[in-house]
């Protein structure tokens, strides 16, 4: 079974600074997807970024980028130029490419952006 670990429960960053959120996972599969989801106080789950394991290039979406280290099974999220609206809980998630395409989530990290 796959597991996803987010060991930092909380982080804080100054507005306009850069912050990195850590995530590690465990799987025996060679191909899979990894995601970061954002859950603001509204509780809506918002897809931030996606990475396919067979792609070596790290995904980027505007101010959000990932550092995907397949051998180390590490998938960190970097948020550049942090904004107050980035304050939220962030979940790392794993998904197999097989028939059972459920998302397995980490426990999440609460990010606070300070003005």
Partner 1 sequence: DSGVTQTPKHLITATGQRVTLRCSPRSGDLSVYWYQQSLDQGLQFLIQYYNGEERAKGNILERFSAQQFPDLHSELNLSSLELGDSALYFCASSPRDPSGAQYFGPGTRLLVL
Min dist. Cβ of residue 74 to partner 1 (A): 19
Q: How many residues bind partner 1 (CB under 8 A)?
A: 23
CB 4, min distance to partner 1, A: 10
Say if strands 103-105 and 109-114 run parallel, antiparallel, or are unpaired: unpaired
The answer to the question of residue 78 lying near partner 1 (CB under 8 A) is no
User: Which residue, 18 or 101, has its beta carbon nearer to partner 1?
Assistant: 101
37 lies in the site for partner 1, by CB under 8 A: yes
Nearest to 93 by CA among 79, 71, 77, 111: 77
């Amino acid at each position: 079974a796959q597991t996803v670990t987010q060991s930092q429960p909380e982080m804080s960053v100054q507005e306009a600074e850069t912050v990195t959120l850590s995530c590690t996972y465990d799987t025996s599969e060679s191909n899979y997807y990894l995601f970061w989801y954002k859950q603001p106080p509204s509780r809506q789950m918002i897809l931030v970024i996606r990475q396919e394991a067979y792609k070596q290039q790290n995904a980027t979406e505007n101010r959000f980028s990932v550092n995907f280290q397949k051998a180390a099974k590490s998938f960190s999220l970097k948020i550049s130029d942090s904004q107050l609206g980035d304050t939220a809980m962030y979940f790392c998630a794993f998904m197999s490419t097989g028939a059972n395409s459920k998302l397995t989530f980490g426990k999440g990290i609460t990010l606070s952006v300070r003005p």
